[in-house]
């Protein structure tokens, strides 16, 4: 369902925990991280689509979250031709999105990336609200910044102190936001949101794909990796947490070039 300009109506979700940290998902079989999002079906309201996508991609139900705010207008981005199916080129231009700011009121263990047979993510983590967006596919970054900026004024007050400047509000908010983002560029932990690191010399010395994949995927220590059910492998668990250094990560299936951007 496209509008007259070729944009597909869509919803995006910024999900907070009680520390005002934000949910990030790693797109399945890729090294891109993003927020949950998805198209609005015919006859759906944006809010109905948001709750459907929340369950399909994150496994959460309406009672697990509360709605804090949403963007006032549609935010648009264009999708490059190389990400569009050939039969849709010339018609499909991109996405126009309503963004929702939600807060999780349930426990983290309610998150389930395998709620459907067609998962969007294979790993997830909580991250600070303002971080570099270089792990987001390039054509979405501007919309992400607009959504985060518009919805940041609705962030709930929290007793958790994540930064010495958390008390700076009001007229200093813009200055605080820029400094906060700059600070996270220099903190060592922010490197974990820069996607996987590919080591060619290690791949050439490896005898199998498993070893090279282990070296080429670098996830945050507190991220949870949920293997792709379409990958054939033997494992005792269907969820592997990266904070366990002894965990074995299966090699993901190759990226499907025909996959349509959602």
pLDDT tens digits, 105-134: 999 999 999 999 999 999 999 999 999 999
Q: Does position 168 have pLDDT exceeding 90, yes or no?
A: no
Strands (E), the chain: 7-16, 22-27, 33-34, 37-39, 65-70, 75-78, 94-104, 121-127, 224-225, 240-241
Please, which pLDDT band fits residue 165 given cuts at 50, 70 and 90? very low
List, for residues 76-93, the tens digit of each pLDDT value.
Answer: 999 999 988 887 888 899
Residue 234 lies in a domain: no
Considering the entire predicted model, what is its pTM?
Answer: 0.68
pLDDT value at residue 1: 84
pLDDT (average), residues 141-160: 93
Alpha-carbon distance values, 137 to 49, 80, 195, 220 (Å) = 23, 11, 11, 19
Q: Which of 63, 60, 25 is nearest to 262 (CA)?
A: 25
Residue 150 lies in a domain: yes
Residue 20 lies in a domain: yes
Residue 258 lies in a domain: no
Q: Calculate the average pLDDT of the chain.
A: 75
Share of the chain above pLDDT 70, in %: 62
Whether 60 and 17 have beta carbons less than 8 Å apart is answered as no
Please, which residues bridge with residue 14 across strands? 101
Residue 232, SS3 per DSSP: coil
Residue 63 lies in a domain: yes
pLDDT value at residue 233: 35
Residue 208 lies in a domain: no
Number of structural domains in the chain: 1
Please, which pLDDT band fits residue 150 given cuts at 50, 70 and 90? very high
Q: What are phi and psi of 26, to 5 degrees?
A: -90, 120
Select the more confidently predicted residue: 141 or 178. 141
pLDDT (average), residues 56-74: 98
Residue pointed to by tokens 């925990």: 17
Whether 105 and 65 have beta carbons less than 8 Å apart is answered as yes
| Ranges 150-159, 165-174, 207-216, 235-244: which has the least confidence | 207-216
Share of the chain above pLDDT 90, in %: 53
CATH number of the domain encompassing residue 173: 3.90.79.10
Residue 253 lies in a domain: no
């Amino acid at each position: 369902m496209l509008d007259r300009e070729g944009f597909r109506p869509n919803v995006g979700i910024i999900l907070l925990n009680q520390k005002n940290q934000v949910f990030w998902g790693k797109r399945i079989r890729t090294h891109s991280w993003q927020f949950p999002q998805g198209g609005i079906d015919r006859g759906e309201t944006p809010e109905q689509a948001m709750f459907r996508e929340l369950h399909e991609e994150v496994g959460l139900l309406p009672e697990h979250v509360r709605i804090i705010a949403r963007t006032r207008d549609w935010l648009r981005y264009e999708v490059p031709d190389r990400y569009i199916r050939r039969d849709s080129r010339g018609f499909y231009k991109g996405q126009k999105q309503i963004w929702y700011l939600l807060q999780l009121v349930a426990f983290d263990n309610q998150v389930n990336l395998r709620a459907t047979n067609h998962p969007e993510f294979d790993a997830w983590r909580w991250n600070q609200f303002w971080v570099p967006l270089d792990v987001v596919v390039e054509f979405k970054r501007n919309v992400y910044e607009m959504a985060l900026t518009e919805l940041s004024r609705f962030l709930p007050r929290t007793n958790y102190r994540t930064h010495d400047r958390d008390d700076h509000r009001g007229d200093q908010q813009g200055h605080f936001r820029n400094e906060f983002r700059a600070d996270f560029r220099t903190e060592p932990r922010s490197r974990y949101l820069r996607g996987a690191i590919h080591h060619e010399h290690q791949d050439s010395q490896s005898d199998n794909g498993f070893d090279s994949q282990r070296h080429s995927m670098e996830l945050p220590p507190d991220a949870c990796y949920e293997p792709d059910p379409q990958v054939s492998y033997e494992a005792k668990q269907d969820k592997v947490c990266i904070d366990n250094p002894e965990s074995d990560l299966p090699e993901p299936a190759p990226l499907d070039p025909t996959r349509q951007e959602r």
